[in-house]
Amino acid sequence: MPDQPWAVWDKNAKPKRGGIFRVAAEQYIGKMNPNHWPVLDWISMGYMHERLMLTDGNYNPTVPWLAETLSWDGPQQVVMKLREGVTFHDGSAFDAKSVKFQIDWIRDPASKTWDAGWLAQLDTVEVVDEHTLRWKFKTPWAGFSGVIANVPGYVMSAKALQEDADKYDTQPQGTGPFILEEASPGNYLKFKRNPNWWFAKASNNPDMPYFDGIQVTIIPDPAVRLANLRAGKIDVLLLDKSQYAVAKADPDLKVYRFAMNHLAALRFNNTKGVFQDIRLRQAVSHAIDRKGLIAGTQFGLARLASCIYPEDHWCHNPNLKPVTYDPDLSKKLLAEAGYGSGLTVRGYYINTAMGQTIAEAVKGMLTKVGIDWQVDLMAPAALATRMQKMDYDLAQGGWIFIYDPDLMATGLYHPEGGFNFGRSKNDAAIALIEAGRKEVDPEKRRAIYWQLEEVLYNAYEDAWLWWEEIATAYRSNVEGWDHEGFLKYRDVWFWAHPLWFRDGKA
């Protein structure tokens, strides 16, 4: 453990034990078995559960966590060595048998798990010895480590699942730093410190986690969440973008800004309607002033996007530059395509306040070059139906949480994708997506995704707008946040470096 690059602790820091860390969440967690749908708060899920693998600073699932080592034995087999000395909150042992039971349970249709399909390429998982597993795949499966760094890799007590799997939805038994103490659905969650957290011993920081507990309170309104932070009723807040400047000016708050792996984009209907013509897709893409959109609608909190994977994602092709803002070129392209006198297209955008602002700004930019975008602002349910029926020319697109590259690539651009519905059929891209799934060599796989980005970029498959940024505010007595460390190692740093109160209490 100490030999890991992210395992660096500030020697001058004086962490103190104690206090209840108070957090606000927009929604109640839902079910607490990660494999039972719906789960609406993955941060709280992480207080209780840990994963087999974690992602690094470039969202690459290469960091061993509860899996100590992972070695490929050919493209269709992986030998996994599990960490020793780990126990679940119910006292049972974490070992090869418990992981096998969990994986088989996820794949059993009777368990009604929503992520069983993610393990479709898994053939068998075998117990080699007490702490070793052999995973065998039906076909070469490059995305394996990405999947076990995701939902199916949240480790759960086999004992608890065997006794009463339904009970697990409300009484989870993970291995994480905090144990669920009390849940009041729709209202709050209370966690207490796990005194037997394996990582405290493994990292030679026996007081970890430093808080006695965590209280997550559900506060739906962003203005009221900020009021709670400023009134000292909560200790940390994921800020609404409009609150960034206000929070930054508050001397009692420490505000950090960081990139997120989310993509905001406009999606074209490439197989039905006018946008089958690449010149019209180019016309739209060049008509959008992305810098203006970021400044005017995102309060400056976003980065110009050039393609699908964010610039800090291991699959992003750095040779691609954001599409230029060139309204004259747009007009020229429209004229060439036979729409010099104007083009009318239909579409939709989400009906939140932010959605409305973005849609109106984009509509204004398109109007300037002669495109009348008749955009309907809709609730998520209605929007999903329009997407499914391909009832649009140009609409809201993008993706949230871009981890394993195949998930988004397939979702948006492959015929099997859950968010494609036949609107994108780029044969070169499809071939690359399929190649990327099978290539287990990381460097060769990276090259495939660089190529995929280039193909999509040259085809103007979508109009990519920005990669998300967010900001978090802590009360000044919360210590331990090393922003540089977080930006460098992200996921693993976040879970490995618990915070504490300066005076040991809230």
Partner 1 sequence: MGKYIGIRLAHALVVLAIVVVLVFVIARLIPGDAIMAAMAGSVDLHDPSVVAKVRHQYGLDQPIFVQFAVWLGRFVRGDWGTSIGTGERVLDMFARRLPVTLELFLGATVWSIAVGIPAGIIGALKRNSTLDMAVTAGAMVGVSVPAFWEAIVLIYLFAVLLPVFPPSGYVPLSDGWLANLRAMVLPTFVLGTHSGGLLARYVRSSLLEVLGQDFIRTARAKGFSETAVIVKHALKPSMIPVVTVIGLSWGGLLAGAFFVEVIFAIPGLGRMSVEAIFQKDYPVMQATLIVVSLNVLLVNVLVDILYGYLDPRVRVRG
Q: Which residues bind partner 1 (CB under 8 A)?
A: 27-28, 30-31, 36-40, 42, 112, 114-115, 117-118, 150-151, 169, 184-187, 217-221, 223-224, 227-228, 230-233, 378-385, 388, 400-401, 403, 407, 411, 417-419
Q: How far is the CB of 351 from partner 1 (least distance, A)?
A: 10
Let me know if 38 is exposed, middle or buried by CB neighbors in 10 A (0-12, 13-18, 19+). Answer: exposed
Residue 145 or 150: the one with the smaller Cβ distance to partner 1 is 150
Q: How far is the CB of 298 from partner 1 (least distance, A)?
A: 20
Let me know if 143 is exposed, middle or buried by CB neighbors in 10 A (0-12, 13-18, 19+). Answer: buried
**How far is residue 334's CA from residue 331's CA, in Å, rounded to a whole number?**
5
Residue 41 or 461: the one with the smaller Cβ distance to partner 1 is 41
Residue 28 or 500: the one with the smaller Cβ distance to partner 1 is 28
Residue 174 or 417: the one with the smaller Cβ distance to partner 1 is 417
Q: In 3D, which of 258, 238, 262, 260 has the Cα closest to residue 400?
A: 262
Q: How far is the CB of 147 from partner 1 (least distance, A)?
A: 10
Residue 97 or 233: the one with the smaller Cβ distance to partner 1 is 233
Q: How far is the CB of 410 from partner 1 (least distance, A)?
A: 8
Q: How far is the CB of 229 from partner 1 (least distance, A)?
A: 9
Residue 218 or 304: the one with the smaller Cβ distance to partner 1 is 218
**How far is residue 389's CA from residue 379's CA, in Å, rounded to a whole number?**
16
Q: How far is the CB of 2 from partner 1 (least distance, A)?
A: 32
Element (H, E) at 430: helix 427-438
Q: Does the CA dihedral 375-380-382-383 come out positive or negative? A: positive
474 and 492 Cβ atoms separated by less than 8 Å:
no
Q: How far is the CB of 32 from partner 1 (least distance, A)?
A: 10
Which stretches within 288-379 are classed as H helix? Answer: 290-297, 327-336, 353-369
Residue 15 or 143: the one with the smaller Cβ distance to partner 1 is 143
CA dihedral defined by 149, 154, 158, 162, rounded to 10 degrees?
-120
**How far is residue 108's CA from residue 123's CA, in Å, rounded to a whole number?**
13
Residue 128 or 224: the one with the smaller Cβ distance to partner 1 is 224
Q: How far is the CB of 365 from partner 1 (least distance, A)?
A: 26
Residue 219 or 440: the one with the smaller Cβ distance to partner 1 is 219
296 and 424 Cβ atoms separated by less than 8 Å:
no
b/e map 164-175, b = 16+ CB within 10 Å: ebeebeeebbbb
109 and 88 Cβ atoms separated by less than 8 Å:
no
Task: Please compute, for residue 305, the number of CA atoms within 13 A of its CA located in the half-sphere on the CB side.
Answer: 32
Q: How far is the CB of 239 from partner 1 (least distance, A)?
A: 16
